[in-house]
Structure 1
Amino acid sequence: MKRWIWAVLIFLVAGVVGGYSVAHYHEDQLQYSRNVVNGQTAIEQSNYAAAENYFSRALTKKKYDPVANDLFEQTKKFVRAESEFKSHEFTSARIDYQGVDKYKKGSKTLKERAKDKIALIDKIKKNVKKFNKQLEEAKKMNAAWNFYGSNATIDSLLSSAEFKKNYYETLYDQAVILQRFNNAGIVADQSAFSDDTTPDNGGGSSSNQPSIAPRYRGPGPATAPSTPDKKASSSSSSKKSSESSSKAKDESSTSDSKQESSSKDSSSKSDASSK
């Protein structure tokens, strides 16, 4: 009788424990499945932080599950690639996007998005080379003082909708700065050219004003060196000679008059004495 009672009790305890274990297993399985599904839904909504959290919870229910593990690691790699892409670290971002495709049991959505980003990075790198080449040409023209040609190239860049995207913000800033230098150079050239070709109405430039060396001197009549006027010089010399001769004649005439007067006075005195 006692043996029978003990057997029944053991059977009941085993049933309870077994039932609890089975129920707990089914509960864990249910939570695991819910977390995986919720994580995949979060990926579709581009809520990657929530997706990582769901996949992490799924792994607490099935620690070494390959599906949850691949989804979790794949999502982390995609999030890191996205961060690198936003920071314009395109080389490292491309490597991580390529890694997203290696998870066999991962999300197909993440794989497709990673492929799209790889194609975009390749396009950006190609455009960077093209835009950089145009910018270098504009810099060379600026160095050669061809400000109008440099600005024409920069205007072409700045009018491009693609060039205005934040992927090329460093090149865009360089183009804007170079355009300002070109505009300043154009204004300086116009001012220097105007100062150099304005007629001098003041009878000569002031010695206190600094001389301006314009970058471009427009074509103008050549100024012949001044030469003395031979006729004017001869006339002036002749005039001076005539004046000198006339003066000598006047002086001679005056001297003769004085001598004649002196002779008359002497004669008058002699006549008076004889009488």
Structure 2
Amino acid sequence: MKKWIWTIVAVVIIAVIGGVTFTSHHITQKAYTAAMTTGRQAVSKENYSIAESAFQDALRHRTNDQQAQGHLTQTQNFVSAQSAMSDHEFSTAKSDYTKVKNAKSGSSMLRNRAKTALKLLKTVQLKAETFQDVYDQALTQNQGQSYEASNATLDRIFKDAAAKQSYYTNIYNHAVDLRSANNKAIKHGGDGTSDPSSSTPNSASSSADSSSANASSDSSSSSRTTGLTNSEKQAAKNYKGSNEFTVKKSQTEINGKAITAAQIASARKTLSAINVPAGSFSDQDIRTGLIAANKAGISFKAYAQKTYK
């Protein structure tokens, strides 16, 4: 008799435990499903912060769930890509959008949005590079004191309706500043003399640099070794390359104006920016490059990329 009683008790206990387990699993599954549904709906409405929270909630109900984790990671990458796009960090945006597009698990809606964004990004990058090249050319012309020509080059930016889009804010503002500097120089000189109270955007020059450069350009090639020691004169005479002591006056000028120390310093920065060792070039090598770029009607950056890389 007692044996039957214990059997019944055991069956009841097992049934109760099984029922509790089943109920708990059912509740967990229901909460997980609800969280995933909320996340997907939020993605559809582009409420990505809500979507992230919902997918995180789903993971709390079902730890290490690949579907929930896939949706969460994909959403986070998409948000990161959008933020990078707004900050004009195009390479980062491209990387994150690509991760969203290639996600093996996640939202097909986000994958399609990423594909569309990548197409836009390609267009934006090409346009940004074009604007940058135009600006670099205009800056070189400004540094050569060809202010009207610089303004004419900048018009290629200002006449492009896309230039005022948020993606190009930085380069557009630089172009506005350069045009302002050009106009001041034209107003105060009229003959290409820069305004002494203003400075060229993205370059810096001192009166000492300017005086030194002008003094150098006003002397003839035969008098460039004045003030040198005998050994220095001999070294300049024996030098087979080009430097300030072995060239004609015309080889140190752009449009009749001396190439300044500030222009040379700016050109060296450009070389470093494109991973060309600037230290391997003498000042005269830099002048020669600036003159060649000006004659070709292109920026020094474009000339350097074509010639030195």
Scaled to the shorter chain, the TM-score interval is: 0.5 to 0.7
Distance in 2, matches of 1:141 and 1:58, equals 60
1:2 match: 2
Distance in 1, matches of 2:130 and 2:192, equals 36
SS in structure 1 at match of 2:185 = helix
**How far is 1:24 from its partner?**
1.0
**How far is 1:90 from its partner?**
1.0
Q: Which has the larger radius of gyration?
A: 1
1:47 match: 47
Cα-to-partner distance string for 1:35-68 (whole Å, 9 max, x where unaligned): 1111011111212121111111111222122211
**How far is 1:123 from its partner?**
1.1
Distance in 2, matches of 1:45 and 1:37, equals 12
* Contact kept? 2:164, 2:172, Cα under 8 Å: yes
Cα-to-partner distance string for 1:224-252 (whole Å, 9 max, x where unaligned): xxxxxxxxxxxxxxxxxxxxxxxxxxxxx
SS in structure 2 at match of 1:162 = helix
Higher RCO, 1 or 2 (CA under 8 Å, sep at least 6)? 2
TM-score, length-normalised on structure 2? Answer: 0.58
Residue type of the alignment partner of 1:34? A
Please give the root-mean-square deviation of Cα atoms over the aligned residues, in Å: 2.1
Residue type of the alignment partner of 2:53? N
* Contact kept? 2:138, 2:153, Cα under 8 Å: yes
Distance in 1, matches of 2:145 and 2:56, equals 63
Distance in 1, matches of 2:176 and 2:103, equals 44
1:101 match: 101
* Contact kept? 2:70, 2:103, Cα under 8 Å: yes
Q: Within 5 Å, which residues of 2 pair with 1:182-261?
A: 182-190=182-190
Distance in 2, matches of 1:164 and 1:192, equals 29
* Contact kept? 2:74, 2:100, Cα under 8 Å: yes
Distance in 2, matches of 1:89 and 1:147, equals 32
**How far is 1:176 from its partner?**
0.7
In structure 2, stretches of 5+ residues that fail to align are 194-309
Residue type of the alignment partner of 2:181? F
SS in structure 2 at match of 1:172 = helix
**How far is 1:150 from its partner?**
2.5
Distance in 1, matches of 2:54 and 2:88, equals 29
Please list every run of at least 4 consecutive aligned residues from structure 1 whose deviation after the TM superposition is greater than 4 angstroms. 190-193
Cα-to-partner distance string for 1:111-137 (whole Å, 9 max, x where unaligned): 111112222221111112211222233
1:154 match: 154
Distance 1:191 1:69, change over 3 A: closer
* Contact kept? 2:186, 2:192, Cα under 8 Å: no
Distance in 2, matches of 1:100 and 1:20, equals 40
1:134 and 2:138 matched:
no
**How far is 1:15 from its partner?**
1.2
Distance 1:151 1:20, change over 3 A: same
Distance in 1, matches of 2:188 and 2:73, equals 61
1:11 match: 11
* Contact kept? 2:134, 2:156, Cα under 8 Å: no
1:59 and 2:67 matched:
no
Distance in 2, matches of 1:2 and 1:118, equals 76
1:76 match: 76
Distance in 2, matches of 1:114 and 1:11, equals 56
Distance in 1, matches of 2:67 and 2:192, equals 75
Cα-to-partner distance string for 1:84-104 (whole Å, 9 max, x where unaligned): 222221112211211112322
2:169 match: 169
Q: Within 5 Å, which residues of 2 pair with 1:106-125?
A: 106-125=106-125
2:24 match: 24
Aligned length in residues: 193
Distance in 2, matches of 1:84 and 1:156, equals 27
* Contact kept? 2:157, 2:163, Cα under 8 Å: yes
Residue type of the alignment partner of 1:105? S
**How far is 1:3 from its partner?**
2.0
SS in structure 2 at match of 1:163 = helix
In structure 1, stretches of 5+ residues that fail to align are 194-275
Residue type of the alignment partner of 1:87? D
Distance 1:41 1:175, change over 3 A: same
